[in-house]
Amino acid sequence: MSKLLLGKPVADAMTEDLSLRVDALKAAGVTPVLAIVRVGERPDDLSYERGVTKRAQSVGVDVRPFVLDEDAGQEQLEAVIRQVNEDSSIHGCLMFRPLPAHLDEDAACALLAPEKDVDAISPAALAGVFADRQGAFAPSTAVACMKVLDHYGIDPAGKKVAVIGRSLVIGKPVAMLLLARNATVTICHSRTRDLAETVREAEIVICATGRARAYGADFFREGQTVVDVGINVDAEGKLCGDVDFESVENLVDAITPVPRGVGSVTSAVTVGHTVQAAERALV
């Protein structure tokens, strides 16, 4: 039986630390505020909004939603982002993506003030992640993977790590975070030949392709740590990861389940970045 790397203990430890830091901020007269910019009513967005709101409230961070109709125009959206940028009582901002196709997502992302960009959607934040610049926020899911490894004492330094997936939201940034921690990182993807063999060679595997139960026993071996970032819905409507958990759970050393794995940590990271932004604004 593999060790289950549950997200809750990770998020709980973070929450405890964040509560203390929010208390200190409030004592200094500052309540951290996270703005959420949402266009339309996508179920995924609403679900994550509920999660992050609950997490924020549990540590004393206020959430301020800015909700636009699904057919809102670019000007409306940009006006909201400007309002967020200019309001000094707002410390962090999470904008749900993908935006509806009629909107210019790149332009909207580039508009967000880097110091409030707690999910690293702006070019400045992405450049910071790429350059390993101190202080840049990285995408919350990528940071959540690192928090899970750290919490369970799995040091990536010197280890072979395979990242499956090369998205800008998770695959590439988590590769950069792992590289900054001295892992030897191989970035794999749909065009990788001998994918199973390459993944089997790694000591830590990050699965981030959003393909339900795509990676089974032939991709893994004893001794590995597997971090499954996928959150997929299978044919029967059940949540599942990118890894075929049932065929792997007795094979590898440690694995994050889905649900109850990385996803439980992501909202704590977003809230944590907001607290950090508020602390920086205070200095």
Cβ proximity to a copy of itself, 24 vs 168, nearer residue: 168
In the list 5, 34, 188, 208, the residue contacting a copy of itself (rule: CB under 8 A) is 188
In the list 186, 200, 217, 218, the residue contacting a copy of itself (rule: CB under 8 A) is 186
* E runs forming strands in 126-258: 160-164, 184-188, 204-207, 225-228, 232-233, 239-240, 254-255
| Positions in 129-148 near a copy of itself (CB under 8 A) | 129-131, 133
Query: Does residue 193 bind a copy of itself (CB under 8 A)?
Result: yes
Residue identified by tokens 């990182």 is: 185
Query: Does residue 185 bind a copy of itself (CB under 8 A)?
Result: yes
In the list 160, 211, 221, 260, the residue contacting a copy of itself (rule: CB under 8 A) is 160
Mark the segment that binds a copy of itself (CB under 8 A) among 2-10, 13-21, 177-185, 245-253: 177-185
Residue 171 is encoded by which pair of tokens? 């695959």
Q: Residue 84, Cβ neighbours under 10 Å: how many?
A: 22
CA distances, 36 to each of 124, 136, 258 (Å): 20, 20, 25
Please state the closest distance from residue 191 (CB atom) to a copy of itself, in A.
4
Mark the segment that binds a copy of itself (CB under 8 A) among 64-72, 92-100, 184-192, 259-267: 184-192
DSSP string, 1-66: -PEE--HHHHHHHHHHHHHHHHHHHHHTT---EEEEEEES--HHHHHHHHHHHHHHHHHT-EEEEE
Residue 138 is encoded by which pair of tokens? 């990285």
Residues 155, 137: Cα–Cα separation, whole Å = 21
Mark the segment that binds a copy of itself (CB under 8 A) among 50-58, 90-98, 158-166, 273-281: 158-166
| β partners of residue 163 | 187, 206
Mark the segment that binds a copy of itself (CB under 8 A) among 45-53, 75-83, 91-99, 185-193: 185-193
Query: Does residue 105 bind a copy of itself (CB under 8 A)?
Result: no
Cis peptide before 32 (omega within 30 of 0): no
Residue 188 is encoded by which pair of tokens? 């794999």
Please state the closest distance from residue 78 (CB atom) to a copy of itself, in A.
18
Query: Does residue 127 bind a copy of itself (CB under 8 A)?
Result: yes
Mark the segment that binds a copy of itself (CB under 8 A) among 28-36, 85-93, 125-133, 239-247: 125-133
Q: Binding residues for a copy of itself, per CB under 8 A?
A: 106, 123-124, 126-131, 133, 157-160, 166, 168, 172, 175-176, 179, 182, 184-189, 191-193, 198
